[in-house]
């Protein structure tokens, strides 16, 4: 089940932080590391700071964008020290985040996303997340080193895994209960935008309206089944417009 949990580091500047994050992960039973356009990788400094976790570094997957790293995930939690303006569901307590993540990870891949040392995650990257989490810390000095943030959240995930009910032995969840992947949700939002324009509800792409609707559906958390119902509804509206 822990193999469904992916740690994603976005554009890490110091290769040493990649190694230290790999070590933090391995101590907590996590091995699935994805690097989005790291500045300098592979690098001896990454292997040095990994200590006994070089295997996690060696097996890390390097990708060109955050979308590529998380498209197949059903839950993507962005770790951020500051609250952002984007109204995504937010976990104030890492423990609550880990419990939710663990529940989804039983059946599908999920991701925890960490930003750059200098300026964290961009708003566009946060848009690829379904949730945000902050590690409660000193209000006057609350930004942790990247690998230490990985350690704290990886620990919470491991704690949630140890305390799980006997879920290893339960049957897979039926699709009405499973969350759509980020890619499926992205296709739905593209479809919704097309229909909003074709129907004349908006006359050109309107980022603010789309953002508000994305936030609404992020809170509503439609299941795969509900999402395909909505896709069917949009298709029939499109059909009606074509016929008119
Ligand atoms: N200067 C950046 C912070 C970079 S720290 C900023 O202001 O956003 C590097 C990464 O570590 C962050 O992007 C975040 O993913 C994680 N991190 C650091 N402190 C955190 C905290 N208190 N809560 C959650 N994540 C944190």
Q: What is the average pLDDT across 202-230?
A: 89
Report strand pairing: 61-63 vs 32-36.
Answer: parallel
pLDDT at 82 (0 to 100): 77
Q: End of a domain among 147, 169, 191? A: 169
Instruction: Report phi then psi at 205, rounded to 5.
Output: -55, 130
Over residues 75-129, the pLDDT tens digits come to 999 999 976 666 789 999 999 999 999 999 988 999 999 999 999 999 889 989 9
Shared domain for 147 and 238, answered yes or no, is no
Q: Which of 10, 78, 81, 114 to mutate to test the pocket of ligand 1 (most atoms within 8 A of CB)?
A: 81
Closest CA to ligand 1's atom 5? 117
Over residues 224-242, the pLDDT tens digits come to 999 999 999 999 999 998 8
Question: What stretch of H or E contains 243?
Answer: helix 224-243
Q: Does the C-beta of 146 come closer than 6 Å to ligand 1?
A: yes
Shared domain for 134 and 203, answered yes or no, is no
Q: What is the mean pLDDT of the chain?
A: 92
Q: Does the C-beta of 150 come closer than 6 Å to ligand 1?
A: no
| Distance (Å) from CA 125 to ligand 1 centroid | 14
Look up the CATH number of the domain holding residue 61. 3.40.1280.10
Q: End of a domain among 169, 194, 216? A: 169
| Distance (Å) from CA 140 to ligand 1 centroid | 14
Shared domain for 54 and 99, answered yes or no, is yes
Q: Does the C-beta of 79 come closer than 6 Å to ligand 1?
A: yes
Q: Does the C-beta of 132 come closer than 6 Å to ligand 1?
A: no
How many of the other CB atoms lie within 10 Å of CB of 76? Answer: 27
The atom number, within ligand 1, closest to the CA of 121 reads 13
Q: What is the average pLDDT across 52-69?
A: 98
- The residue segments making up the domain with residue 100 are 2-169
Q: Does the C-beta of 32 come closer than 6 Å to ligand 1?
A: no
Question: What stretch of H or E contains 100?
Answer: helix 94-105
Cβ 146 vs Cβ 17: under 8 Å:
yes
| Distance (Å) from CA 6 to ligand 1 centroid | 18
> Which residues, 6 or more positions from 104, have their beta carbon under 8 angstroms from its beta carbon?
74, 75, 110, 179
Cβ 23 vs Cβ 49: under 8 Å:
yes
The DSSP output letter for 71 is T
Shared domain for 139 and 215, answered yes or no, is no
pTM above 0.85, yes or no: yes
Closest CA to ligand 1's atom 21? 81
The atom number, within ligand 1, closest to the CA of 142 reads 22
The atom number, within ligand 1, closest to the CA of 133 reads 24
Q: End of a domain among 138, 169, 200? A: 169
Query: First CA to last CA across the chain, in angstroms?
Result: 50
């Amino acid at each position: 089940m822990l193999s469904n949990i992916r740690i994603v580091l976005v554009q890490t500047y110091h290769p040493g932080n990649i190694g230290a994050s790999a070590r933090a992960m391995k101590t907590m039973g996590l091995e699935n590391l994805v690097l989005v356009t790291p500045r300098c990788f592979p690098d001896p400094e990454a292997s040095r700071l990994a200590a006994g976790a070089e295997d996690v570094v060696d097996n890390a997957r390097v990708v060109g964008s955050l979308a590529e790293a998380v498209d197949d995930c059903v839950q993507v939690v962005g770790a951020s020290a500051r609250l952002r303006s984007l109204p995504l569901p937010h976990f104030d307590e890492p423990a609550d985040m880990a419990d939710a993540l663990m529940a989804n990870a039983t059946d599908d891949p999920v991701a925890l996303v960490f930003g750059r040392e200098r300026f964290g995650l961009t708003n566009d990257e946060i848009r690829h997340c379904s949730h945000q989490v902050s590690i409660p810390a000193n209000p006057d000095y609350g930004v942790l080193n990247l690998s230490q943030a990985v350690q704290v959240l990886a620990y919470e995930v491991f704690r949630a895994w140890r305390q799980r009910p006997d879920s290893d032995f339960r049957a897979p969840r039926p699709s009405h209960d499973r969350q759509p992947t980020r890619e499926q949700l992205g296709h739905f939002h593209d479809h919704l935008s097309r229909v909003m324009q074709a129907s004349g509800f908006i006359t050109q792409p309107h980022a603010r309206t789309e953002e508000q609707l994305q936030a609404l559906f992020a809170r509503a958390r439609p299941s795969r089944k509900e999402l395909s119902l909505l896709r069917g509804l949009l298709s029939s509206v499109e059909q009606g417009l074509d016929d008119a």
